[in-house]
Amino acid sequence: MESVNPTSPESNQTPSAIFSGKVQFSGKGGEFFGIWIVNILLSIITLGIYSAWAKVRTYRYFYGHTRIDGHSFDYLATPIQILKGRILAVIVFLIYTLLSSLAPTIGLLFAIGFLFLLPWIINQGMRFNMRMTRHRN
């Protein structure tokens, strides 16, 4: 079977065009300021617990007002998913604090291990955000 170059004269196919979609943002500064100030106040009052809900509200605002070719984005994550991740991070931090106060050498090894794991942790966070983003279904 012989492959045909799509740009050759004997091909009936036309080469695909480079994406040239129009990107628009329809959000308003005053509108977002209201969301932002409520997020800050509720995060302070709840000692940071509301910050997971604040993140979802912020992402949904920005994603919902960003359009490419007339289609907006959706942010699908729930605040509970984000809160679970943050609780896990606090537990790991408490374990590190306890280990470093009881055995500084083990705490140092834990910190070095964390530095090696940091690229993987960052990658997992970015993968989560990409999985929770939807555009045109």
Query: Which pLDDT tens digit goes with each residue over 14-27?
Result: 666 676 778 999 99
Domain boundaries, the chain: 23-135
Question: Which residue in the block uniquely carries the two structure tokens 């939807």?
Answer: 134
Mean pLDDT of 47-63: 96
What pLDDT shows up at residue 73? 92
Taking the model in full, what pTM does it have? 0.76
- Integer Cα distance of 70 and 11 in angstroms: 33
The model's pLDDT over 72-121, given as tens digits with 9 standing for 90+, comes to 999 999 999 999 999 999 999 999 999 899 999 998 999 999 999 999 99
Percent of the chain surpassing pLDDT 90: 74
What length is written for the chain? Answer: 137
Tell me what pLDDT residue 136 has: 86
